[in-house]
Chains A and B, each alone.
Chain A
Amino acid sequence: KAGVTQTPRYLIKTRGQQVTLSCSPISGHRSVSWYQQTPGQGLQFLFEYFSETQRNKGNFPGRFSGRQFSNSRSEMNVSTLELGDSALYLCASSFSPAGAGMSSYNEQFFGPGTRLTVL
């Protein structure tokens, strides 16, 4: 079974530009969550999508947005890039069936991340 894939793996942008990152979840997984990892703030939750709907959202500005397609693939977009947006962006997929509660069905599997550098 293929794991979570993220593209591109590395990206360099300049301030003010926008960027789109892509995540393909494990086959059969319907939930995709996005996290930002920086040395200063650690791993911070951005948002989660399930069945093409944003289900949870973290405390990030509106410049950070996402979407999910009918095949569960997800994209996140950052507009008007700032230097502080330089980070490793990770996505995680899980099966997340309704009413599963806390169980192995909700376990999240992470992709390798996209390293974004803003100059």
Chain B
Amino acid sequence: GQQLNQSPQSMFIQEGEDVSMNCTSSSIFNTWLWYKQDPGEGPVLLIALYKAGELTSNGRLTAQFGITRKDSFLNISASIPSDVGIYFCAGQRQGAQKLVFGQGTRLTINP
């Protein structure tokens, strides 16, 4: 099935470092979303982006909706241990509830 191209697949960083991950698509999406999934749980919505070029923050998280509507990035500043998990980008088209997901970025933090 269709998936977004998400990179990197995994990251190993030191506590306090900044993190950046991105997602690209060959087709346009009207909404970009970023989710975090902890082991044994479902994805939790972190940030939703509704307009091309939009830059949105949620605490230490910042995400942007690319101008072309084919990409998005997520930045995490000053990482802390509870940031560990798998981060997914997802795209959604106008009028459809279906989410198309990236493969995920697994974030590991060394204390």
Contact = CB atoms under 8 A, between A and B. Distances in A.
Real complex partners, A and B? yes
Given A44-B1, A55-B97, A102-B94, A109 B31 contact: no
B98 A110 contact: no
Contacts of A96: 97
B108 interface: no
A113 B103 CA distance: 18
Interface in B15-57: 30-31, 33, 35, 40-45, 48, 50
Query: How extensive is the interface on chain B, given as a class?
Result: 20 to 34
A112 B97 contact: no
Contact of A41 (B1, B40, B41, B96): B1
B1 A58 contact: yes
A106 B30 CA distance: 12
Given A42-B104, A58-B1, A106 B41 contact: no
B97 A102 contact: no
A113 B98 contact: no
Contacts of B96: 56
A10 B42 CA distance: 14
Nearest to A106: B97
Interface residues of A, number: 31
Interface string A49-63: 010000110110000
A6 B92 CA distance: 23
A42 B3 contact: yes
Interface of B: 1, 3, 30-31, 33, 35, 40-45, 48, 50, 88, 90, 92, 94-104
Q: Lowest 10 CB-CB distances: which A-B pairs, in order?
A: A110-B42, A43-B101, A102-B31, A48-B97, A45-B98, A44-B1, A102-B30, A110-B43, A90-B42, A112-B42
6 contacts: A41-B1, A45-B1, A48-B98, A56-B98, A101-B95, A110-B44
